[in-house]
């Protein structure tokens, strides 16, 4: 990312930098650091910035040398399609999703980021199967509602507004 220097200031802003999201990033980092072998659901209304927060977590993890596999689930509606997407995202071409992740990570800690995971029927079962097969796997899923699995932790993203709303003057 490139830096932008604000005129008349020594302040640099990184293009695409998150503003006002320190609490969510801190909560996510803390949960992910302690959730090896677990699930963290990043929830909130549509358009609140869940995918952007997850992308920042991914950027930070990759920068520190962690293994991350990102899967965009979007319109995928069933477990089989989601499983195929995990295999493809792991840059593998055969076997099960667990085998693909194992070949990618070789048993090392790995973050599986499941973005826009709301539509996938049976996703909880797929995630539990992956966690059983890959003990060092941690899953971060972005959803409107939390993933219903016993091992899950939740972080809720809230709308962020840089300035309080300004009333609009009424005209007669």
The domains located in the chain, with CATH, are 37-156 (3.40.50.300)
- Directed axis angle between helix 123-133 and helix 79-89, to 10°? 40
Question: To which H or E segment does residue 135 belong?
Answer: none
pTM exceeds cut of 0.85: no
Q: What is the mean pLDDT of residues 59-74?
A: 91
CA distance linking residue 110 with residue 67, whole number of Å = 5
Structure tokens, 147: 């993933």
Q: What is the mean pLDDT of residues 82-86?
A: 90
CA distance linking residue 127 with residue 172, whole number of Å = 59
pLDDT digits (tens, 9 = 90+) for 3-17: 544 444 444 444 566
Pick from 148, 94, 150: which is nearest to 117 by CA?
148
Termini Cα distance of the chain: 48
CA distance linking residue 112 with residue 46, whole number of Å = 21
């Amino acid at each position: 990312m490139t830096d932008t220097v604000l005129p008349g200031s020594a302040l640099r802003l990184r293009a695409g930098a998150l503003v006002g999201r320190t609490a969510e990033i801190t909560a996510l980092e803390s949960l992910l650091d302690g959730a090896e072998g677990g699930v963290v659901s990043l929830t909130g209304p549509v358009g609140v910035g869940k995918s952007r927060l997850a992308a920042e977590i991914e950027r930070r993890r990759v920068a520190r040398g962690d293994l991350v596999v990102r899967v965009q689930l979007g319109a995928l509606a069933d477990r089989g399609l989601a499983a195929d997407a995990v295999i493809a995202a792991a840059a593998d071409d055969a076997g099960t999703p667990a085998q693909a992740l194992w070949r990618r990570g070789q048993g090392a800690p790995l973050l599986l980021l499941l973005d826009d995971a709301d539509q996938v029927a049976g996703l909880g079962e797929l995630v539990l199967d992956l966690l059983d097969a890959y003990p060092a796997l941690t899953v971060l899923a972005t959803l409107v509602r939390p993933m219903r699995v016993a091992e899950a932790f939740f972080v809720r993203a809230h709308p962020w507004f840089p300035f309080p709303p300004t009333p609009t003057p009424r005209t007669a």
